[in-house]
């Protein structure tokens, strides 16, 4: 019947059969002259797109945070170097608050508690030199204290780059990031969050839900880990490199917050880890 009456349906819909990908359409729009149709769309927006945070392709590394130089806990810092040496770890990441910069604090600091900024810089130079002498890849991203100098400049109308303060260290081997987080291989999101996140609290669980990764969070100076509700991801506070007893506001005033714990974490085989503090069995860990 179809043949007899020549009822074959022509399946080629001509123009309407052509399928264009979104990028082809976008390209055509951006290259074409404005017309009644495409003039309704906007050009590319202004401003930097913040998508160039570090994704470190390390299998292993030491992750530490909150050194608050010059108030470093020298014992835990040196133990960290020994652990790195013993396990041939060549990557080091500091997750915010390397500097203390109380000189530019918006909180009240009494005169006897202040170290001059030039002393902070010269002590920090030695600390960073020690790091670059011991590790091949030494990286710092920003925390809450690292931008205090920058904030001061900004407040007097001299907006500067975040990098200025790192340049004072005169160490070309370090790498710094203006982000307050990075990712470490496909397992970890490491950050210095705006809010203080306690071990086991809901904010840590929310960060895991948000980023879909195990989280190592600085800023709180606490230490410990719990598994996320999925029993696979880990939510971890790595401890701090600062000596709690050298920080006046913590030492002069009681708080209900957990005590700060000097320590650090060693990542191995991408997703495995050991958390270290002063009570770790170094006799076992450092045994050859
Ligand atoms: Fe801190
Ligand atoms: Fe902080």
Ligand nearest to the CA of 260: 1
Residue segments in the chain with a per-residue pLDDT below the cut of 70:
1-17, 29, 32
Strands 188-191 and 214-217: parallel
Q: Residue 261 C-alpha to ligand 1 middle, in angstroms?
A: 12
| Tokens 């204290």, residue located | 145
Q: How far apart are CA 243 and CA 70, in angstroms?
A: 10
Q: Residue 158 C-alpha to ligand 2 middle, in angstroms?
A: 24
Check whether domain 55-285 has CATH 3.60.21.10, yes or no: yes
Q: Residue 219 C-alpha to ligand 2 middle, in angstroms?
A: 4
3-state secondary structure of 153: helix
Q: Residue 148 C-alpha to ligand 2 middle, in angstroms?
A: 11
Give how far Cα 74 sits from Cα of 17, 109, 181, 281, Å. 71, 23, 25, 18
Compute the Cα dihedral for 125, 130, 131, 132 and give only its sign.
positive
Please state the domain extents for the chain.
55-285
Q: Residue 193 C-alpha to ligand 2 middle, in angstroms?
A: 8
3-state secondary structure of 255: coil
DSSP state of 34: P
> What's the pLDDT score for residue 275?
98
Give how far Cα 37 sits from Cα of 20, 21, 34, Å. 17, 18, 8
């Amino acid at each position: 019947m179809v043949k007899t009456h020549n009822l074959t349906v022509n399946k080629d819909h001509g123009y309407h059969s052509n399928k264009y990908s979104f990028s082809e359409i976008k390209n055509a729009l951006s290259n074409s002259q404005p017309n009644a149709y495409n003039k309704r769309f906007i050009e590319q927006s202004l401003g930097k797109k913040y998508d160039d945070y570090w994704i470190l392709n390390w299998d292993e590394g030491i992750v530490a945070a909150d050194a608050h130089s010059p108030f470093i806990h020298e014992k835990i810092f040196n133990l960290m170097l020994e652990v790195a040496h013993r396990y041939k770890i060549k990557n080091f990441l500091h997750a915010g608050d390397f500097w203390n910069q109380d000189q530019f604090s918006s909180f009240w600091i009494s005169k006897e508690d202040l170290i001059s900024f030039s002393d902070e810089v010269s002590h920090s130079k030695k600390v960073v030199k020690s790091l670059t002498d011991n590790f091949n890849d030494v990286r710092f991203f920003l925390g809450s204290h690292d931008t205090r100098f920058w904030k001061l400049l900004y407040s007097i109308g001299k907006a500067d780059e975040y990098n200025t303060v790192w340049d004072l260290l005169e160490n070309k081997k370090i790498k710094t990031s203006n982000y307050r987080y990075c990712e470490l291989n496909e397992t970890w999101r490491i950050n210095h969050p705006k809010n203080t996140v306690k071990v086991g609290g809901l904010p840590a669980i929310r960060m895991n839900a948000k980023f879909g990764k195990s989280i190592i969070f600085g800023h709180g100076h606490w230490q410990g880990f719990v598994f996320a509700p999925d029993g696979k991801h880990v939510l971890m506070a790595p401890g701090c490199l600062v000596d709690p007893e050298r920080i006046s506001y913590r030492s002069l005033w009681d708080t209900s917050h957990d005590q700060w714990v000097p320590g650090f974490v060693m990542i191995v085989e991408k997703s495995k880890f050991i958390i270290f503090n002063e009570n770790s069995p170094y006799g076992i860990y450092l045994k050859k």
